[in-house]
A and B are shown apart, each in its own frame.
Chain A
Amino acid sequence: MSTVSESVVGSTRSLSAAKRHKSIRKNSRRIYSAYQDNQGSSDDQDKEDERADSNDPEEMFQNIQYQKEIIANIRTRPWPMRRKLKVLKQAREIVLKYEGRLTRTRGYQTAGADLLKKLSRVLYNILVLFIPWEVRIKKIESHFGSGVASYFIFLRWLFGINIVLTIMTGAFIVLPELLAGAPFGTTRSKTIPKEHLASAQDLDTIWSLGGYLQYSVLFYGYYGRLRKIGSAGYRLPLAYFLVGMAVFAYSFIVLLRKMAKNSRLSLASASDENFTFCWRVFCAWDYLIGNPEAAESKGAAIVNNIREAIVEEQEKKKDTSLAVLISLRILANILVLLSLAGSIYIIYFVVDRSQKLEQEKPELTLWEKNEVSVVVSLITMIAPSAFELVAQLEMYHPRTSLRFQLARVLVLYLGNLYSLIIALLDKVNSMSSAIPLSPGNWSESSSFLATISQPEGNSLSTLVSEIFVSEHRNITIATIATVLDIRNTSTSGSGVISNQTSLFEKNIRSQQDPCWETYVGQEMLKLSIIDMIFTVASILLIDFIRGLVVRYLSDCCCWDLESKFPEYGEFKIAENVLHLIYNQGMIWMGAFFSPCLPAFNVLKLIGLMYLRSWAVLTCNVPHQQVFRASRSNNFYVAMLLFMLFLCMLPTIFAIVRYRPSQHCGPF
C-alpha cells in the first residue's frame, strides 16, 4: 500500500505549502479532499468554503472540471472498490453543489459533454457484441497463450478491413452495374464471342475463369463505358476510378491508425535497455493460460529459458573458431540469395512461357493454363522450410535466426509478387501495343480493297506494298494470295465484296479482343484461389496427417515419435502472419482490375479462420521456446503497411503507363 501513503504524504505536503496563500489554500483543500482518508477535516472546511465561496465563476468552473477529471480517471487508481465508490460519491457531490451556480453556457457545455460520454459508452457496449469468434479465440488463448492467439486476432482484424473494402466496391461499383448497367449480352464487351460460346460451360473454362465468369461483374472488362447509367444518371466510370483509389486510401488510414494506437500502448523504448533476467522472471507468465497441460509446458519453457539465460551469462564467448562460423554464414546467405533469384527467374520464365503457349496452341491443357499460379503457390509453400533448413548452418541464437527467417520470407514473397506483376505487365504491354487497328480500320481496308478492284491499271507490286503497310501483322499470307487471285480473275464487284467479308471474318476470329485488364484480374484471382487450395492442402497434409502419424504409429515405431522427429507440429506464428500479409498484398494488387476480389477474400479469410483454429487445437502443441518474434505489436502492422505501399505501385503504374483497352471496361 505504498502508493496510498505516498499520495497522503503528497497531499499533506502540498497543504502545508499552500498555507501561505489563502485562496490557494481554499482550492487545494477542495481539490485534495478526494485523496484524504479521513473525511473529518473536509467537513470542517465546508463551512469555511461556504463563507469564502468566491464569486469567481471561472474558478468554480476550473474546480468542477478538476473534479470531473477525478471522476473520469478514477478507474486508473489502484484502490479497492469501496474506496473508489466513496471518492466518486464525494466528487459528484462537489460537482452537483457547484454546478447549479454555473452560467448558462457553461452548463450546456457540461451537459453536452456528459451526454456524449454516456452515448459513447452505450455505443461501445453494443459494438462489442458484434465482434465475431470471441469464444474461439479465448479457447485458443487458454491453451496456447497470447502468442498464438495474436495470429487469430490479426486475422480477425484483416477480416474487418476486407469487409469494409467489399462494402465499398460492392455498393458503389458492382451493384450499380448489375442494376442499371446494360445487361449481359447486349454490348460487345459483355458477350461471349461466338467461338468461345460452345466451350463456355465447360468445367475447364470455368476453372480458368473464362466463359461466363470472364464476362461478368467479376472483372474489369464487364463494366460499361457510358458516362451515366440508369435513371438517376450514376457516373459509373468516375465511381470506378474513385473507389479504386479509395480502397488504397482507406487501407492506409486504417493501418496508420492502428500503428498509432499500438505505439501509444507500448511505450517504445528509445534506448536498447535489456532487462533480460527481469523480464524472464517478471513478465514470463502468460495469465491467459487456463489449461493445466498448457500451464505445465509453459512452466517447463520458463525454466528452460531461465537456465539458458544463466548459462549464456556465465559462459564466455563460444570457442568454435570464428573463421568457420563466418564462412558458414556467408555460405548460407549465398544459398538464400541464389534461391531468391532462382524463384524470381522461374516465375518470369513461366509467365513468358504461358504467353508463348497461348499464341501457338489453340487448346491448352489444364496444367498449362494454371501453370503460373501453381508455380507461385508451390514456391511460397516450399521456400520458407528450405530457408529454415539453411538457417541451421548459421548457428545463430534462435531469436536472431527467427528474425532472419522473417526477413528472407518477406523478401521472397515480395519478389514473387513483383516478378509476377512485371511479367504480366510485360504481356499487357505487348497486347496493348499490338492493336494499331480497330474494326473501324477494318472497314476502311475492306472499302479500300473494294475500290482497288475497280481501277485497271494499278500494278500488283504497289497494291501488295500498300496492303502490307496498312494492315495488321495478323494478316496471313493466304489473305494476300486470295486478294491477288481476285485481282487476277477480275470478277464482278459483288463477288469481291463477298470474298472480302469472308476474309474480314476469318481475320477477326484469329485475333481475340484484347482486354488486358480483365486478363490481369483473372491472373490475380486465379493466384488467390490456388493459394487457398494449397494452404488448405498443406494444413491437412502436413499438420493433420503428421499428428495422426505421430499419435497412432508411435507404438509400433522403435523410437519415440512424440519427442524426436517428427514430433507434433508447432504453430509457426511468424510465418503464418507473413502469409496473411502476402495474401492481403495480392488482394490490393488485384482490387482495381477485379472488383469482387475483396469479397472473395472475405470468404477465404472466414474459411481460413475456421480451418486454422480447428487445426491448431487438434494437431499442434504449445511452443517450446518462450521468446517472442516481435519487439512490439507494431512489427506486423508495419510490414503490412510496407506491403500496401509496394502493392499500390504496380496498379498506379499500369493505370498511368498503359492505354486502357478500347473495347472493354469503363475507360
Chain B
Amino acid sequence: MGTTASQLGKDMLSEYQELTFLTKQEILLAHKRFTELLTKDEKDLPNTRVPMERILTLPELKSNPFRKRICNVFSTSEYKDGGLTFEDFLDLLSAFSDSATLEIKSHYAFRIFDFDDDGTLDCRDLEKLVNCLTGETDDTRLTPEEMRQLINNILEESDIDKDGTVNLSEFQHVISRSPDFVSSFKIVL
C-alpha cells in the first residue's frame, strides 16, 4: 500500500489528489523531486524514509529558519528524527499549498512554533521562535531586555485566558485576523 519509489501508481495518484490540496502535476513533480533525493538502493524499496539532512538540501527549505521544525512536525517516524516518507512530504506540500485552508495552515503553523511539542506556546517557545527569525550572528539577535519586552507584548496581545501561554485557539484567533498570513505561508516546488 505504499509507493514504489520508481513510479506512482494511478490509483494512488487519484487517492492523493483526493486527500491533499495538490493538483496532479504538483503531485507528480513532488514525486520526481522526492526520488531525486533517494540513493540508488533506496529507490527500489517501498515507503523509504529520507533522513532530515537530505530533505534540508531542497532549495525551498534550505533558507527557511524553521526547516528543522517543519521536518519534525510532518514526520511520522517513530524515532522522532525528522525523516520524511513520500506521503509525509505530500502532507507538507499540501499544507503549504496555495489552496489550503486557513485552518490547516494555522494549525500547522502552531505546531511548527511549538518547539517543545506540549500543545502551547510558552515563553521558552517564543524565545526560540524569535531567535530563529533573527538569525545567529550577535548583531542581529535581540538583547535580553528587548526579548523580554517583546514576549510580554505578544502575550499581552494574544493571551486571552491569561495563563501565560498561547494555546491553539488563541493562536488561530490572532492569525485569522492577519491579512498577510495566508499568502506568505506558502511553499511551491
Contacts and interface: CB of A to CB of B under 8 A. Distances in A.
Contacts of A129: 25
Nearest to A78: B107
B34 interface: no
A600 B83 CA distance: 53
Interface in B133-152: 133-135, 140, 142, 146, 149-150
A628 interface: yes
A291 B63 CA distance: 6
Interface in B10-33: 15, 17-21, 23-25
B184 A287 contact: yes
A438 B133 CA distance: 77
A303 B134 contact: yes
A74 B18 contact: yes
B122 interface: no
B63 A277 contact: no
A78 B104 contact: yes
A3 interface: yes
Interface stretch (A47-55, A98-106, A630-638): A630-638
Given A275-B178, A299-B134, A88 B18 contact: yes
Contacts of B158: 275, 278
Interface string A257-299: 0000000011101000101111101111111111110111001
A335 interface: no
Interface residues of A, number: 65
Interface in A296-325: 296, 299-300, 302-303, 306-307, 309-310, 313-314
A282 B174 contact: yes
Contacts of A269: 177
A277 B148 CA distance: 13
Contact of A313 (B119, B153, B178): B153
Nearest to B101: A76
Interface string B152-189: 01100110000000011001001111111111111110
B64 interface: yes
A288 B108 CA distance: 16
Nearest to A122: B24
Contacts of B157: 275-278
Contacts of B62: 290, 292
Interface secondary structure of B, over-half rule: helix
A281 B18 contact: no
Nearest to A632: B179
Contact of B188 (A125, A138, A275): A138
A287 B133 contact: no
Nearest to A272: B177
Interface string A576-610: 00000000000000000000000000000000000
Contacts of A309: 153
B116 interface: no
Interface in A85-125: 85, 88, 121, 124-125
B115 interface: no
Given A125-B25, A288-B184, A277 B101 contact: no
B46 interface: no
A296 to B, nearest CB: 8
Contacts of A299: 65, 133-135, 140
Interface in A136-174: 138, 141-142, 145-146, 150
B86 to A, nearest CB: 9
Most A CB atoms within 10 A — which of B64, B129, B153?
Answer: B153
A128 B21 CA distance: 14
Contacts of B24: 125
B103 A287 contact: no
Most A CB atoms within 10 A — which of B63, B90, B185, B188?
Answer: B63
B174 A278 contact: yes
B55 interface: no
Contacts of B17: 121
A418 to B, nearest CB: 31
B168 A3 contact: yes
A281 B133 contact: yes
A80 interface: yes
A84 interface: yes
A81 B90 CA distance: 8
A308 to B, nearest CB: 11
Contacts of A303: 133-135, 140, 142
A284 B63 contact: no
A298 B25 CA distance: 30
B119 A76 contact: no
B17 to A, nearest CB: 7
B187 A628 contact: no
A80 B133 contact: no
A57 B183 CA distance: 45
28 contacts: A3-B107, A3-B168, A75-B18, A75-B21, A81-B19, A81-B91, A85-B1, A88-B19, A128-B25, A142-B59, A146-B184, A146-B186, A267-B102, A275-B158, A275-B174, A277-B157, A281-B129, A282-B113, A285-B65, A285-B66, A287-B184, A289-B63, A290-B60, A295-B63, A299-B134, A299-B135, A303-B134, A628-B179
Query: Closest 4 interchain pairs by CB?
Result: A81-B87, A295-B63, A277-B153, A78-B107
